[in-house]
Amino acid sequence: MSKTTEYNPSEDFKNAMALSNMQVLFDYEDGKLDEIQCLILFSELLKSGLVWQLQGHYQRTAKALIEGGFLEFDGTIIEE
């Protein structure tokens, strides 16, 4: 019997970040991500909990996105 696995962006994001996609953080810091990409980045950082292990800028930005009504504390993107 085969087991169906569901796509889990947070797990994939953690794996990617752990291996070779630290580039996304470098791209963010270099201003190469658009607004949607930044929102997705912070969504995944919140979902994984990694945001709380990064430097203060990431934590403040995540809090601002939550307070601004763009993200839930669990990383869910608020669509309006």
Greatest mean pLDDT among 22-26, 59-63, 75-79? 59-63
pLDDT 10s digits, 4-26: 455 556 666 555 555 446 888 98
- 62: pLDDT strictly greater than 90: yes
- Asked, for residue 18, whether it belongs to a domain, the answer is no
- Asked, for residue 10, whether it belongs to a domain, the answer is no
Q: In terms of residue numbers, what domain contains 37?
A: 30-80
Is 68 in a helix, a strand, or coil? coil
pTM greater than 0.85: no
What is the predicted pLDDT for the residue at 15?
A: 58
Helices (H), 1-80: 9-19, 23-29, 35-48, 56-67
- Asked, for residue 19, whether it belongs to a domain, the answer is no
- Asked, for residue 9, whether it belongs to a domain, the answer is no
Report the domain count for the chain. Answer: 1
Average pLDDT of span 54-60: 95
Query: How far are the Cα atoms of 28, 33, 54, 80 from residue 40, in angstroms, in the given order?
Result: 11, 10, 16, 15
- Asked, for residue 43, whether it belongs to a domain, the answer is yes
- 66: pLDDT strictly greater than 60: yes
